[in-house]
Structure formats: C-alpha cells, structure tokens
Amino acid sequence: TDACQAAGYLDMDVVKLGVDLMSFNGSKIYGPPGVGVLYKKKGVKLMPLLYGGGQEKGIRPGTENVAGIVGLSMALKVAQGQKDEENRRLSELRDFFIKGILGKIPLSRVNGDLQKRLPGNVNISILNVEGEAMLLMLDEYGIAASTGSACTSGSLDPSHVLLALGLSHEAAHGSLRFSLGRQTERYDLVQVLEILPKIVEHLRQMSPLELGEDGFFAS
C-alpha cells in the first residue's frame, strides 16, 4: 500500500492493516525530501531493480543516506506525536472550507465522502469552468492548489479516480484539490473564499458550457 498521504494522519500499524508492503516518504511529513521508507513483511521476496554491491542485503547498492534517514525518523516521530491534535484542527478547518465553497459557489460539489477522508483533504468540482484555468488564476494570488486532470503527464484525460466515483468528464475536468497542513490557518481559507468565487464567476462568463446540476454525474 502507498501510505505517503497517510503518514502522520492515519493508523499505520502494519499488523492491523495486514499489509505485505508499505511505503511512505519524508517530504509529506515535513521531513527531508528524497528519502522514504519501504516496510517489507517477513517472507515477502523482492527482486532488485539495481545491481552491484552487496549493501542492503543485495536488494539495492549504494551508500545509505544517514542524515536523511535520521531526519525522516524524527519527522515521523513528531508527526505521530501531534497526530490527534492536528487531525482535530485540520478537520475543523476542512469542514469550514468545504461549507464556505459550497455556500459561495453555485454548481459546486465535494468529491468523496464528507467524513471518510483525510483531515486536510478538500477535493471539489465546479461545473462550467476548467480546473486548469482556475489554477492559473489562483496562482496569480499566491494560492497553491492542484487539479484532478492529469495535466503534468501530457494527457488531457480527467482523473480516473473521479470518473470511478461517477463524475462526468466535465465535472472531473473542473476539479480542484486543496491540501491543508501545519501552516494552514483559518485566515488563509477566508482569503481563498474571497478570491475563488470571483475567479469562478469571471471564467464562467467566458465559458461555452452551461451544464445543470446533473452535469456532475456521468450518464
């Protein structure tokens, strides 16, 4: 299982989860970038991707990044120690933000369950506007977000995950993902709630799309 987004937020007890392999990285928990963890259950066989040198039990050659390993260990310790308090704080901010978006922007909806989601995850779709266009305008205000479409892969296809949730192609292309973290304060979200509705209104005036509320779902 890929637990990069779970580290610091969810229970990562490999015995309870029953996983054979689990991975997570340092940059997602405010640790050093370029270092990660792979848990391997006893008895699971791995084939090396790189050859040469007998380090790391013949699975991977090279010299261990000791500083990175220590930094990741400390980052995980801090994240796990703050987990309960930070989860409560982020969940409150997330719910405030979602309520604000749905209240201020017509034809918007939350993607995924309202409760069964990561504390800092806000994924929304806004009809009759492209996610890429919203990102570009948000960036002008110094607001970082991402869209569900695979823009960085050179593909114009919408997120297969959002399509699997039943969204139409149009709704999936109009998705935005905001990630809240340790430095996120209520003030930051209030600022976004002031700016985003104006951006959406501006873009809709230029959009040829005029989908109704049922346009969120694939027919």
Q: What are the per-10-residue average pLDDT scores of the chain (219 residues)? A: 90 94 94 93 92 83 92 94 95 97 96 92 94 95 81 64 90 93 96 98 89 85
Residue position matching structure tokens 């501006």: 202
Active site residues: 151
Residue 32: per-residue pLDDT = 94
Tens-place pLDDT, residues 103-120 = 999 999 999 999 899 999
3-state secondary structure 11-22: CCCHHHHCCCEE
Select from 91, 145, 147 the least CA-distant residue to 114. 91
Residue 148: per-residue pLDDT = 63
Instruction: 22-27: list long-range contacts, CB under 8 Å, 24+ apart.
Output: 26/68, 26/71, 26/72, 26/75
200 exposed, middle or buried (CB, 10 Å; 0-12, 13-18, 19+)?
buried
